[in-house]
Amino acid sequence: MMMLGLGSVGLVLLSLAVQSGHGAQDSAVWSREETTERNYYTRYHNMSEITAWMEQMKRENPDVVSSMVYGQTYERRDITLLKIGLSSTGRKKAIWMDCGIHAREWIAPAFCQYFVREILRTYKTDTKVNEMMKNLDFYITPVLNVDGYIYSWHNESTRLWRKSRSPGTGGCTCYGTDLNRNFYANWGMVGVSTDCCSQTYCGTKALSESEARAVTDMLGKMREDILAFLTIHSYSQLILVPYGHPNISAPNYDELMEVGLGAAKAIKAVHGMDYTVGTSPDILYANSGSSRDFARLIGIPLSFTFELRDKGEHGFELPEDQIQPTCEEAYAGAHHIITYAHDKVFYSYAATVTATLSTTLLAAWVSSATLL
């Protein structure tokens, strides 16, 4: 990848292969000229461009941005996240966000890129974002299903590819598993298929896919620190809360709904778009084995799926002129959830410490008064 800066000066991306050994899938047939940084975030970008952008974010923000490879895909490509936050001597809480678990949902990686740009653009001037950057680290995976995403860029016939790219087993000649049916959360119970040619094929067993295992391992290591889990999809304009099984409710369902409805209100305030909030069985369809449900199952208190624009007019092929407004409104919704998660922990903790200190001082004063 040859790359000139992502600033306000002209930008030219000459996409070359960024990962050797994968032939045409990684080779760059896409050449694009951008005129401004703003234009960059109003276009869809292939995997080579996103990889180069991640490196650019690290170079331009070395004090707050680092990257981590935390797994590999079936085709042996790295699964990489950006870790964003101000340095701290103590252990920090975390926010998890992943995009692109379903390959054809191109607006999802575009949102992850926009989200990163916004927090990096505003944390020095926005006191709330700065406070959250001090207390939290953001773990953001722009593209989780790397193999599938690359495949979806091949040509028109592959544009709507959804699943991973692992081959079928037991004589099945179809490819791919639905990664969002492969997690160890009521796996294989509802809303899945055991036909490997199906779009909702759940795999031969829970965590049969390396991509699902990578996320599972990361969440397992970090679960005591993660305050909110956000997984970004399209389409339908929904905010989904756990669980996907119709007979199972999250213990904090009321809180999840309250926070989700607040996020939907924040979204509507930006461009007037209505997002519906609820469990998947209530407002979409029943399903099992999702990453959202797994996150809640292991104790992450706030777990949400965003289904971005639109409601079916364009579906997975959302026009590029809708990228910016979609990302602007989704950012408002995500910001609401993250702010709630942050304030619940840090302000409640501060209030508890203050109350404890006041009680201690009062007790000491009473003891002193008694002795007098």
Can you read off the two tokens belonging to residue 122? 């505003």
Structure-token pair, residue 14: 């000459």
49 carries an active-site annotation: no
Task: Specify the 3-state DSSP secondary structure of 12.
Answer: strand
Q: Is 174 helix (H, G, I), strand (E, B) or coil?
A: coil
User: In the 3-class helix/strand/coil scheme, how is 204-244 assigned residue by residue?
Assistant: CCCCCCHHHHHHHHHHHHHCCCEEEEEEEEECCCEEEECCC
Evaluate whether 279 touches 241 at the Cβ level (below 8 Å).
yes
Residue 167 CA to residue 177 CA, distance in Å, equals 8
The Cα–Cα gap between 291 and 189 comes to: 15
- Pairwise CA distance, residues 196 & 95, whole Å: 33
Half-sphere exposure of 153 (CA within 13 A, CB side): 21
Q: Name 66's bridge partners.
A: 83
Tokens linked to 203: 């795999």
**Of 105, 118, 211, 307, which one is the catalytic site residue?**
307
Burial track 110-146 (b if 16+ CB lie within 10 A, e otherwise) = bbbbbbbbbbbeebeeeeebebbbebbbbbbbbbbbb
Task: Give the contacts of 349 (CB within 8 A, at least 6 positions apart).
Answer: none
Helix ranges, the chain (H): 37-40, 47-60, 107-122, 127-135, 146-152, 210-222, 253-271, 280-283, 291-297, 323-371
Catalytically annotated residues: 307
